[in-house]
């Protein structure tokens, strides 16, 4: 059975952020991720994770520079300097947290120039931080219209083109289902380059139970494939988080 992490940006939101770590551990999670953790000092987040006995699994880059601003510039032509500056800021934060993975967000752009920009920036980032595991994640165009990376085959092509050992795919089953209509088929096609997995129910992005994805079957498929990474719960609970954790496999 894979190791499960709680996305503390979305789960246990009935508690202050620093109290969510202990709640996640009590619920049976072994790790945590926070999408944009920059509003709280890294030392406080690290202390909370260590105290709860949890690994800090993933965070996103870049840090938002203003409330409500765009999240991601890696594929936006003309913003290379901004991407690189923001990446360095995020990298310092990730290193303080000992984050296992850093998700590099593509941003909102289209066309061949955007692809070339994304590829160059990823190659630069992978070389800049060879000791850090970097991921890219396709996002569905319904929730994120205009986002550059909205195709798993394209993500795989770019990862292969960059050819860096520290760059891999972030597989979000919710996005995979909405993009292709068959998350399991996407998993089978790209399992070999997946570094990190996120799960949520379809439709609605609630608990990963019922709906259009067979999660017991998916978790069994992960075991059969030998996947050794983390599976993060990244969904909007229907009510209090603990009331909806019947889906979480118990060891």
Instruction: Report residue 198 as tokens.
Output: 């996120």
Residue 141 CA to chain centroid, in angstroms?
Answer: 17
Determine the length of the chain: 251
Which residues are within 8 A (CB) of 147 and not within 5 positions of it... i.e. 6 or more apart? 72, 106, 107, 108, 139, 141
Exposed e or buried b for every residue in 62-81, given b needs 16+ CB within 10 A?
Answer: bbbeeeeeebbbbbbeebee
- Identified catalytic residue from 33, 55, 207, 234: 234
Distance CA 76, CA 179 (A): 22
CATH H superfamily, domain 3-244: Divalent-metal-dependent TIM barrel enzymes (3.20.20.150)
CA distances from 215 to 58, 183, 199, 200, 212 (A): 22, 10, 9, 9, 9
Q: What tens digit of pLDDT does each residue of 126-162 get? A: 999 999 999 999 999 999 999 999 999 999 999 999 9
What is the reported pLDDT for 66? Answer: 46
Are the C-beta atoms of 221 and 199 separated by less than 8 Å? no
Per-residue model confidence (pLDDT) at position 37 = 93
- Mean pLDDT, the chain, rounded, equals 95
Q: Which residues of the chain have pLDDT under 50?
A: 66-67
Q: Judge whether 137 counts as a catalytic residue.
A: yes
pLDDT at site 6 = 98
234 included as an active-site residue: yes
Q: Report helix, strand or coil for 33.
A: strand
List the catalytic residue out of 33, 76, 137, 207.
Answer: 137
Cα–Cα distances (Å) from 118 to 37, 79, 214, in that order, read 23, 11, 33
**Can you give the residue ranges of every domain in the chain?**
3-244
Beta strands in the chain (DSSP E): 3-7, 31-33, 55-61, 101-104, 133-136, 167-172, 194-199, 230-233
Note the pLDDT of residue 162.
Answer: 98
């Amino acid at each position: 059975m894979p190791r499960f992490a709680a996305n503390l940006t979305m789960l246990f939101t009935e508690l202050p952020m620093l109290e969510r770590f202990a709640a996640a551990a009590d619920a049976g999670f072994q790790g945590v991720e926070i999408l944009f953790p920059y509003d709280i000092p890294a030392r406080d987040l690290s202390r909370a994770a260590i105290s709860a006995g949890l690994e800090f699994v993933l965070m996103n880059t870049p840090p938002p520079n203003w409330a409500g601003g765009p999240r991601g510039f890696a594929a936006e032509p003309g913003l290379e300097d901004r991407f690189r500056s923001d990446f360095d800021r995020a990298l310092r934060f990730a290193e303080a947290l000992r984050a296992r993975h850093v998700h590099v967000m593509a941003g909102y752009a289209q066309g061949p120039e955007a692809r070339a920009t994304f590829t160059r920036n990823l190659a630069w980032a992978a070389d800049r931080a060879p000791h850090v595991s970097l991921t890219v994640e396709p996002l569905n165009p319904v929730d994120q219209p205009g986002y550059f990376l909205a195709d798993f085959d394209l993500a795989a092509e770019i990862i292969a083109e960059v050819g860096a050992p520290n760059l891999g795919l972030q597989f979000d089953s919710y996005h995979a289902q909405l993009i292709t209509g068959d998350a399991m088929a996407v998993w089978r096609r790209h399992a070999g380059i997946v570094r990190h997995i996120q799960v949520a129910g379809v439709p609605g992005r609630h608990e990963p139970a019922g709906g259009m994805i067979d999660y017991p079957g998916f978790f069994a498929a992960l075991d059969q494939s030998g996947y050794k990474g983390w599976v993060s719960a990244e969904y909007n609970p229907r009510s209090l988080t603990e009331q909806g954790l019947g889906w979480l496999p118990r060891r």
